Amino acid sequence: MRKTLILKVDCENPDGEKIDLAAEAIRRGGLVAFPTETVYGLGADALNPKAVREIYAVKMRPPDNPIIVHIAVKDDVYRLAESVPRYAERLMDLFWPGPLTLVLKASGIVPKVTTGGLDTVAIRMPKHKVALALIKASETPIAAPSANLAGRPSPTVAEHVIQDLYGRIDVIIDAGPTSIGVESTVLDLTSDPPQILRPGGATYEDLRKALGKVDIHPSALAKSELPIERARSPGMKHKHYAPKAEMILVEGDFSLIVGKIMELAEHYAKAGRKVGVLATDESAPNYKVGVIKSLGNRRDLSLAAKNLFKTLREFDEEGVDLIIAEGLPQEGLGLAIMNRLRRAAGYNIITLG
């Protein structure tokens, strides 16, 4: 068991000495969990194959699942990518720092272990002062998937990282809760037109406004598991975001969803299951059976995204063995939320209306 150092820092004014301690761990090949605006990441030197392999081992992450490389200055894109099209520069100007990951052809300096064996590299610049300070102090791009055990809900506070990885990694930087709560959007710029491989914090609508035409990979919208030979992005192929409990997602007309969930909750509770209902403010008062938790107002999808992974972990803490979840509208951040809910449910979906 490793000794894990926990460093509490202010999210707006991180202590330079503490950041330097964490950066020293990165430089010597160690693993550091740190906050971004999306979720907490588990970072290592992206150009150090041994350190990146350690990420896979600690997370128990499948080796064909590529890792996003985080940078603090745009110039690093030109080192990490073989070529950078002009519209990539426009996207960087519009969305960076922020929750958009760009997939480009990888240059020779990027180890294959970082790319999951692909000839492309996924790059983003996080919009978080702690993350940017850590990358700058480490003097290297940082490879960082979410700082959780593979398959579990992503961490949005340091406590989630501690639950999964304490004693397995070198440093956890605690700077409070993340602001977005779902991972970055992954946009493949090697496709024509560019294609969203994983929906996230940068919305389809905003990307389409910037580029004119953007495709969405079928796996990002799927209601059943699609066969994917090679994952071109994290979140495409393997089980992700899942609580320990079994999960059912009920989608469709909202007026029908509530009645169906009430029916299911009663049925499973009578069968001896400890039921949790993942609701919204509008519907929560209707449910009388089970542990009821709300993501917030259905019209405030940013709040739902922020609460999603935290709430799934809370159900686990309460010992729920079945979660029945409401579907949400798919516009804006709703596309990312529904992608996470479908995958968390293992595509155990009931569609109504």
Q: Indicate yes or no: pTM above 0.85.
A: yes
Domain presence at residue 77: yes
* Domain final residue pick, 221, 255, 273: 221
Domain presence at residue 258: yes
| List of the chain residues with pLDDT < 70 | 227-239
Q: Counting Cβ atoms within 10 Å, is residue 98 exposed (0-12), middle (13-18) or buried (19+)? A: buried
Task: Report pLDDT for 64.
Answer: 84
Q: Does 140 lie in the same domain as 56?
A: yes
Cβ neighbours of residue 259 closer than 8 Å, sequence gap 6 or more: none
Q: Does 290 lie in the same domain as 207?
A: no
Task: Report pLDDT for 231.
Answer: 59
Residue closest to 187 by CA, chosen among 91, 56, 318, 46: 91
Task: Report pLDDT for 239.
Answer: 62
| Residue 63: CATH number of its domain | 3.90.870.10
Q: Does 17 lie in the same domain as 141?
A: yes
Q: Does 269 lie in the same domain as 128?
A: no
| Residue 316: CATH number of its domain | 3.40.50.11030
For residue 70, give the H/E element and its range.
strand 69-70
Q: Are 43 and 142 in contact (CB under 8 A)?
A: yes
Taking the alpha carbons at both ends of the chain, their separation in whole angstroms is 52
Domain presence at residue 233: no
Task: Report pLDDT for 79.
Answer: 97
Q: Does 101 lie in the same domain as 139?
A: yes
Q: Does 209 lie in the same domain as 87?
A: yes
* Domain final residue pick, 221, 238, 270: 221
Task: Report pLDDT for 241.
Answer: 84
Q: How far is CA 6 from CA 30, 49, 58, 130, 133, in A?
A: 14, 25, 17, 14, 17
Q: Does 193 lie in the same domain as 105?
A: yes
Q: Are 52 and 114 in contact (CB under 8 A)?
A: yes
Cis before 193 (ω within 30): yes
* Domain final residue pick, 180, 204, 221: 221
Domain presence at residue 195: yes
Q: Are 189 and 88 in contact (CB under 8 A)?
A: yes
Matching residue, tokens 């996230």:
200
Cβ neighbours of residue 69 closer than 8 Å, sequence gap 6 or more: 46, 80, 110, 114, 121, 122, 123, 124, 141, 142, 143, 144
Domain presence at residue 100: yes
Q: Does 253 lie in the same domain as 215?
A: no
Domain presence at residue 93: yes
Measured distance CA(335)–CA(353) in Å, rounded:
19
Task: Report pLDDT for 135.
Answer: 98
Residue 234: how many other CB atoms lie within 10 Å: 23
The residue type found at 335 is L
Q: Does 40 lie in the same domain as 100?
A: yes
Chain centroid to CA 265 = 29
Domain presence at residue 117: yes
- Extract the tokens encoding 138: 């480490």
Tell me which residue range forms the domain holding 81. 5-221
Domain presence at residue 226: no
- What's the domain count of the chain? 2
Q: Does 86 lie in the same domain as 178?
A: yes
Q: How far is CA 259 from CA 283, 289, 329, in A?
A: 10, 12, 18
Q: Does 203 lie in the same domain as 66?
A: yes
Q: Does 257 lie in the same domain as 171?
A: no
